[in-house]
């Protein structure tokens, strides 16, 4: 797939302009990802095998649940990349034809209006490397999901991380993006050093790099703990200590507390269309890798390294909830919301029972979809915001929006009263936020209910009570945003009939500005999934049940 995609991209260089090549690149890679979905689906016969298949001398291991998550990553990546494959706005329902309206004007003015309205000159359509870097990140994510060796772990996580560093700084004219990318690079490099340290300790104490051998050694050390000679060389304390360090490095990369401090700054400073990808893909691959690691090493007779995941879950629930109460910047609010939800995911993973792993898989899938919808809605509202009646440049200066062109919506106050501007977008965002909160009958409620039920059944009563309490407290900042959207008075309205293309000229246009079909279809599908899950739960719950049973070899 990589080879065919690269050949296709080289052939697309014959395109006429840089902007057209960027769109063609994005569409080519989107189709490649969708075709990869079909390839993986065609190989789901691995479901019939008990333990899956090892590849490249044991460097990678493929089974049913790695295949399912590969499909999930490909679909999510294709949807996000589609935002660069189609123009963001279009004109509809005019009293006059678009071209007839401009028939008396010169060609430069016509092109100027078309570019302004449809955002053809937007920065995201000028960056050739965006889709290529995204493709390498996806490759790193899929490799990490399937990895079965210390060497392939490091290569996979670095392939993914380097792509994310470049993606954060890809908007070269954005000072805030460059600053955030540098911060992300330095702290991400630190976490990679921690991962490499843990791997070197594992290799020094076991003499091999294959995870299957480490799992065997760990079990031998537990079984023969009365044999002092064996324990000199194969003591599970060594493995647990190394895995604790390894988990710290990966928790750093998923921004779980207490290693979360870089996440709000990077989310807020990076352009929103890039944040949409950064906030989702990395977490999916790392958590799926964690699931495999916990499965084979959490049953130690000594101290289990996975207990530190429970500590991180506790801190993530508290930090994500308390610090989110003070945020007035919308993407920083999203970041702390993500930290809080990571607490739920780590709680289900650290419990490690049949019910909790089912909750873990379901929570990870539904939250990734909901989070993607939340960022796409933020982008969509921004596409309307720049056409408000107040001058956009003056407004960004007044609000101190340093990167207003790439991230028009930065403050929660900018979306107040949006229900009067676009009721459908406002309702969709409200539904997504209610799902984050866990209000029934939305899909977020069922995910939290499954995690809390698993915690109570396993005797984690304090953690369940803390999770409930933090969910109630987090309602403060979710409901505050919803109040601003539906009940506050907006200080702007969309200019449906007036387009300003410079400070000296105002032109009347008898056509309405709307979102492109791709964005509206994507928002509609994800919002319907969040809203109507209670009517179609069998397929998703059956899939999580089957994957959980496969993991436990039942």
- Please spell the DSSP secondary structure of 149-200, one letter per residue: BHHHHHHHHHHHHHHHHHHHT--TT-HHHHHHHHHHHHHHHHHHHHHHHHHH
Task: Please name the residues in contact with 290: beta carbons below 8 A apart, sequence gap of 6 or more.
Answer: 247, 250, 309, 349
| pLDDT reported for residue 454 | 92
Give the three-state DSSP class for 96: coil
| pLDDT reported for residue 226 | 54
As a whole number of angstroms, the distance between CA 364 and CA 444 comes to 11
Give the three-state DSSP class for 515: strand
| pLDDT reported for residue 505 | 46
Q: Mean pLDDT for each consecutive 10-residue tract of the chain (554 residues)?
A: 73 62 83 89 71 82 86 93 83 48 45 61 76 90 91 92 90 84 91 92 83 74 54 63 89 89 90 90 92 76 73 93 90 93 93 89 93 92 70 56 77 85 90 92 92 92 93 92 87 55 46 80 93 86 84 70
| pLDDT reported for residue 103 | 44
Q: Provide the pairing of β-strand 498-502 with 512-515.
A: unpaired
| pLDDT reported for residue 217 | 73
| pLDDT reported for residue 16 | 52
As a whole number of angstroms, the distance between CA 329 and CA 331 comes to 6
Name beta bridge partners: 494. 388
């Amino acid at each position: 797939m990589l080879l065919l995609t690269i050949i296709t991209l080289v052939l697309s260089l014959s395109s006429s302009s840089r902007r057209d090549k960027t769109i063609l690149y994005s569409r080519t890679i989107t189709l490649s990802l969708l075709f990869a979905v079909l390839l993986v689906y065609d190989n789901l016969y691995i479901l019939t095998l008990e333990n899956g298949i090892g590849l490249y001398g044991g460097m990678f291991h493929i089974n049913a649940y790695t295949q399912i998550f590969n499909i999930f990553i490909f679909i999510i990546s294709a949807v996000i990349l589609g935002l660069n494959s189609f123009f963001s706005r279009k004109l509809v329902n005019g009293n006059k034809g678009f071209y007839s309206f401009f028939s008396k004007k010169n060609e430069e003015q016509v092109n100027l209006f078309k570019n302004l309205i449809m955002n053809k000159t937007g920065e995201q359509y000028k960056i050739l490397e965006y889709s290529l870097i995204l493709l390498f990140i996806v490759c790193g994510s899929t490799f990490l999901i399937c990895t079965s060796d210390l060497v392939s772990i490091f290569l996979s996580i670095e392939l993914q991380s380097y792509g994310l560093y470049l993606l954060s700084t890809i908007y070269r004219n954005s000072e805030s993006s460059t600053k955030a990318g540098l911060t992300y690079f330095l702290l991400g490099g630190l976490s990679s050093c921690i991962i490499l340290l843990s791997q070197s300790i594992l290799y020094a104490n076991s003499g091999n790099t294959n995870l299957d051998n480490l799992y065997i050694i760990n079990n031998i050390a537990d079984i023969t703990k009365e044999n002092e000679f064996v324990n000199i060389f194969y003591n599970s304390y060594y493995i647990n200590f190394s895995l604790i360090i390894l988990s710290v490095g990966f928790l750093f990369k998923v921004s779980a507390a207490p290693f979360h401090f870089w996440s709000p700054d990077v989310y807020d400073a990076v352009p929103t269309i890039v944040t949409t990808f950064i906030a989702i893909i990395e977490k999916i691959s790392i958590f799926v890798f964690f699931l495999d690691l916990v499965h084979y090493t959490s049953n130690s007779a000594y101290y289990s390294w996975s207990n530190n995941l429970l500590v991180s879950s506790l801190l993530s629930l508290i930090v994500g909830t308390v610090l989110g109460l003070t945020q007035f910047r919308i993407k920083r609010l999203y970041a702390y919301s993500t930290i809080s939800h990571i607490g739920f995911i780590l709680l289900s993973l650290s419990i490690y029972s049949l019910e909790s792993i089912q909750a873990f898989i379901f929570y990870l899938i539904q939250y990734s979809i909901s989070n993607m919808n939340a960022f796409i809605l933020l982008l969509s509202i921004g596409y309307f915001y720049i056409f408000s009646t107040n001058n956009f440049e003056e407004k960004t200066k007044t609000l101190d929006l340093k990167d207003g062109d790439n991230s028009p919506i930065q403050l929660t106050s900018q979306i107040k009263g949006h229900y009067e501007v676009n009721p459908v977008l406002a309702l969709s965002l409200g539904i997504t936020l209610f799902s984050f909160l866990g209000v029934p009958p939305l899909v977020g409620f069922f995910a939290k209910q499954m995690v809390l039920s698993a915690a109570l059944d396993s005797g984690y009563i304090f953690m369940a009570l803390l999770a409930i309490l933090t969910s109630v407290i987090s309602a403060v900042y979710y409901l505050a945003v919803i109040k601003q959207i539906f009940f506050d008075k907006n200080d702007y309205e969309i200019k449906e009939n007036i387009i300003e293309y410079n400070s000296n000229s105002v032109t009347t246009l008898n056509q309405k500005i709307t979102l492109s079909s791709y964005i509206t279809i994507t928002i509609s599908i994800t919002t319907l999934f969040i809203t109507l899950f209670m009517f179609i739960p069998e397929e998703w719950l059956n899939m999580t049940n089957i994957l959980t049973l496969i993991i436990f070899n039942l």
